[in-house]
Structure 1
Amino acid sequence: MTGRDTFDRFDRYRELLDLLTGATPVICDVEPRVRTDGRVVAISYAGTPKPGYVTGFTYGLSLSTHPDWRLGGRELAITVRSDSLEWARVPARIVAALRGVCPFNPGQVLGYMEPYVEGYGMNSVVLAGPAVEIEPGLLNLGGIEADAKRCDLIEIVGAYPIHSSERDFVHTHGYDAFWGLEWDRFDPARQPVV
């Protein structure tokens, strides 16, 4: 483990996610691109936020830093209408591949050569606010009694699966133009809107 990657930190994060979702997760380690950067974990919640959906969170992105991150560390979250836990693991696979080289900013699109999940056509994600509501907006892994010096704030960034043609549209027309279109953000089997 790296210096920040402690069992207590991970347990605190998972406890906060369990309270947020009201569910018990399936936890899966994902092989990181650079092992010395710390582990990457997929934390998956079946039937969350309701039956027929799956929600997944990453752990490991917040072990790195980036100049764009003003509020603290970041982790990714995904929510889709599916029974496949593979969708919940997609953000962790993205983090494992791009941690340390990508800022993971809302409005950014990320892509892959092949579909993320077998049987589905989507091979990209657009980053935005998370589908799961987080109050007060940031998770504090420093604990309830942590003073300002011991705060360990985590911003959750939502990852929404999209098609490669939609990723190209964002590159050409911008995030706002794409986000403003009518499309089901939770349907990984939908047809492209552009």
Structure 2
Amino acid sequence: MLRAMPSRAERYFAHLDTLTGSAEPRLQPIPSTRPGLDDVIAFVYADEPEPRYLTGATYGLSLADHPDWHGVRPELWISVRSDDPVWALAIGYLAEQLRGTCPFVYGDTIDFGQPIAPESSMTAFAVSAPAGLDAHQYTLIDVGGPPISIAGCYPVHDTERKYIREHGIDAFWQLDWDLYDVRRQPVV
């Protein structure tokens, strides 16, 4: 009997399992507003990478097309010191709403337009390499089609979003801030 090859989604899900160990995610579909594109799935990992942290990932952003994507397509990742799943749901919402229009390349900033979560005054995200992962874990993930690259989303204050737009993501990384702390004060 022949066994069917794993789908693109199954291959990506298996890759997420290698990144999160034994953590079992909660899956939350974000209904598609794009004809012909499936829902975005937000993966919510409680107590990952350690207790009182939350990690989230998306699947569905990479199903869209964008002129800035050349062979590799992104999915999103977030890791924060919080137990509120809204952080993972927020990147799922961004992936669904902005797929095809935002490239999600390193250095991009995205204005969420309101506080992302009740526990924080942060209203934006900065896109860069994902926290806690090595390059081989987030680049050129083989899913049996165009490879996926995971882009990290970092909650930031509006003043920081403006700073990044003016000075670049590298200048922001040089500042003294805790990338996991969603309750921190602005650094600029």
Provide TM-score, normalisation by structure 1.
0.86
Partners in 2 of 1:9 and 1:112 — Cα distance? 29
Partners in 2 of 1:95 and 1:87 — Cα distance? 13
Question: Which range moved further: 98-107 or 130-139?
Answer: 130-139
> Do the aligned partners of 2:160 and 2:186 also contact (CA within 8 Å) in 1?
yes
1:29 deviation in Å?
Answer: 0.6
1:35 deviation in Å?
Answer: 4.1
2:163 to 169, 173, 187: 169
1:189 maps to what in 2?
A: 183
Partners in 2 of 1:171 and 1:87 — Cα distance? 22
Q: Give the alignment's Cα RMSD to 1 decimal.
A: 1.6
1:174 deviation in Å?
Answer: 2.3
SS in 2 for 1:138: coil
Equivalence map 1:119-158=2 (5 Å): 119-134=119-134, 135=136, 137-142=139-144, 151-158=145-152
Partners in 2 of 1:19 and 1:177 — Cα distance? 32
Equivalence map 1:14-29=2 (5 Å): 14-22=13-21, 23-29=23-29
Partners in 1 of 2:71 and 2:47 — Cα distance? 30
1:156 deviation in Å?
Answer: 0.3
| 1:53 partnered with 2:53 | yes
Partners in 2 of 1:82 and 1:35 — Cα distance? 34
Residue 54 of structure 1 aligns with an amino acid whose one-letter code is: L
1:80 deviation in Å?
Answer: 0.3
Q: Between the two proteins, what is the percent identity of the paired residues?
A: 41
1:57 deviation in Å?
Answer: 0.5
Partners in 1 of 2:81 and 2:71 — Cα distance? 30
2:96 maps to what in 1?
A: 96
Uncovered stretches (5+) of structure 2, i.e. residues with no partner: 1-5
1:67 deviation in Å?
Answer: 2.7
1:63 maps to what in 2?
A: 63
Partners in 2 of 1:34 and 1:67 — Cα distance? 17
**Structure 1 stretches (4+) deviating beyond 3 angstroms?**
none
> Any idea what the Cα deviations from partners look like across 1:59-118, whole Å, max 9, x if unmatched?
111001223223411101000011111112221111111111111110110012211112
Partners in 1 of 2:132 and 2:166 — Cα distance? 29
Residue 164 of structure 1 aligns with an amino acid whose one-letter code is: D
Residue 152 of structure 1 aligns with an amino acid whose one-letter code is: P
Partners in 2 of 1:68 and 1:34 — Cα distance? 19
1:4 maps to what in 2?
A: none
2:36 maps to what in 1?
A: 36
SS in 1 for 2:24: coil
Uncovered stretches (5+) of structure 1, i.e. residues with no partner: 1-6, 143-150
SS in 2 for 1:87: helix
